[in-house]
Structure 1
């Protein structure tokens, strides 16, 4: 049974990953609209883990499954890479850069997953995949070093772009490390323990900003935005992602991140037409070129073959 073809897998898993892509794309605009004026980025993480972890554990209690003590270390590592580092770097990066840049940088994730799989699992890297890695790195580095200083990128900064890149690397480690757990336990078991460990590490970092939030300044739109991030971007997305990981390979899950620039770009255009936040200045030829170079690298890394 081969797992090298990205499109293989139950249709339910691919439907779940499409849902994840749409929610994540909208989250770029929703979360950016709250940070940092209304909610500090690290404080947002504290809210996310404090709100989602009890929900996961309620579901887990309904379908309790014993976890071997020998797996607690791997679950802790998944919490560190999949929740703590991943979310802290992403939200702090998004607060400092544009949604367009962040979504483009996240498309390098399949390349990072390949590198991490090679380092941790001994996955073979062919000549074509080396070229794909080089193209992905070139596109990301160009965006980091040139995009932040461009007149077309008034909302972007290289510091924010770099944090988003580190978030993508951390998520890549998570996708590889969590796979054996997904083959052994139910999805809700894994995600409950991952959020428990990740939340315990993230809360001390984000608590000061969370306690500094002026809730009296929130309007109806702000409350809806917070609710969307907590219930959809955190709770539902992680459930859908962990379900898909139990059905398809980590590289398949990571390839769906490739949709985000297209989805985010569409939502940015719609927001501008409807009088929302205008990030159209971040959509220029440089961004398009970097996205295409990264996409070419992802394609070379992802397609099956031995050369």
Structure 2
């Protein structure tokens, strides 16, 4: 089995975990643990695990200039990404959140054009606009049947910010993922992320009443820390080191399928016409963007970070 196939399998498994995570994390928030407190648990747990694992690999020195790049990647890949996602998920529904995440490939294209001067053709520009129309529909009307319409709209907007942040992270982390061993990169990546999220999550984590949390919710928290955080980041990082950022981001559009099936099975969400319509717009936009990206000629990288 070649490395590209292994990378595709790794990213596929990560996508499956992410799809299930929408409902699993939603069961925890905000009833038992508030969003920012949950993020602090998630990042602290992952940081501890990655630094422990790093003890069993050969030490690798990080170039001083790269610490700044890792810190910037942590801002968008952990702090803004996770805080916006969990806060948004606590306000909206699993299906709406998973559909909004499909915007990531479009955001990758936009940031790639800015940071590495990747050309944008007419078809990709059309795809961006169609995808954005779908995102606006979902943000504005995606939960009209729900009594907390305003909160859902804000939640969808936060998940969109999360998708944009994740798209930027994929572009920023590309070179770093090739330069260093995955564990070496990710242990510093999460350490910086932990420093960034402590101010946001400290108050909420101290308010948690641990003895009132059911065993099932502890399992949910463990799933998010170990699988959604550690396994997915490692698998995505491996995939990112072998595949293009746009290829990795394309797997995100499988998340709504997995998230919708799982959410409907367990009864945590429902479908409505606007969600379906917005999904069609977003998927069409992503299709146009990624189809054109694969056909585009190679470009020369002129800047980074």
| Superposition TM-score tier, normalisation by shorter sequence | over 0.9
How far the C-alpha of 1:123 sits from its partner, in A, is 0.7
Distance 1:253 1:306, change over 3 A: closer
Is 1:17 the counterpart of 2:11? The answer is: yes
- Determine which of 18, 21, 27 is the counterpart of 2:21: 27
Is 1:43 the counterpart of 2:31? The answer is: no
Secondary structure at 2:242 match in 1: coil
Secondary structure at 1:107 match in 2: helix
Give RMSD over aligned pairs. Answer: 1.6
Counterpart Cα distance in 2 of 1:132 and 1:233: 29
- Determine which of 236, 239, 242 is the counterpart of 1:241: 236
Counterpart Cα distance in 2 of 1:230 and 1:175: 20
Q: Which runs of no fewer than 5 residues in structure 2 stay unpaired?
A: 298-305
- Determine which of 245, 270, 280 is the counterpart of 1:292: 280
Partner residue in 1 for 2:302: none
Counterpart Cα distance in 2 of 1:22 and 1:127: 32
Native 8 Å contact 1:147 1:153 kept in 2: no
- Determine which of 66, 72, 75 is the counterpart of 1:71: 66
How far the C-alpha of 1:153 sits from its partner, in A, is 7.8
Write out per-residue CA displacement over residues 260-299 of structure 1, whole angstroms, 9 at most, x where no aligned residue: 1111111012113xxxxx312xx11211111111111111
- Determine which of 199, 204, 208 is the counterpart of 1:204: 199
Partner residue in 1 for 2:114: 119
Counterpart Cα distance in 2 of 1:9 and 1:76: 28
Native 8 Å contact 1:152 1:284 kept in 2: no
| Residue pairs, 1:249-260, within 5 angstroms | 249-260=244-255
Q: Which runs of no fewer than 5 residues in structure 1 stay unpaired?
A: 1-7, 273-277
How far the C-alpha of 1:10 sits from its partner, in A, is 1.1
Counterpart Cα distance in 1 of 2:296 and 2:241: 26
Counterpart Cα distance in 2 of 1:70 and 1:269: 47
- Determine which of 46, 52, 61 is the counterpart of 2:55: 61
Partner residue in 2 for 1:305: 295
Secondary structure at 2:31 match in 1: coil
Question: What count of residue pairs does the alignment treat as equivalent?
Answer: 292
Secondary structure at 1:157 match in 2: helix
Secondary structure at 1:108 match in 2: helix
| Residue pairs, 1:260-275, within 5 angstroms | 260-272=255-267
**4+ residue runs of structure 1 moved beyond 4 angstroms?**
152-156
- Determine which of 174, 178, 186 is the counterpart of 1:183: 178
Partner residue in 2 for 1:172: 167
How far the C-alpha of 1:305 sits from its partner, in A, is 2.6
Counterpart Cα distance in 2 of 1:305 and 1:179: 20
Write out per-residue CA displacement over residues 141-189 of structure 1, whole angstroms, 9 at most, x where no aligned residue: 11111224x1168687110000000011111110000001112111111
Is 1:104 the counterpart of 2:99? The answer is: yes
Partner residue in 1 for 2:127: 132
**TM-score, structure 1 length as denominator?**
0.92
Secondary structure at 2:14 match in 1: helix
Native 8 Å contact 1:139 1:291 kept in 2: yes
How far the C-alpha of 1:62 sits from its partner, in A, is 2.0
Secondary structure at 2:62 match in 1: coil
How far the C-alpha of 1:61 sits from its partner, in A, is 2.6
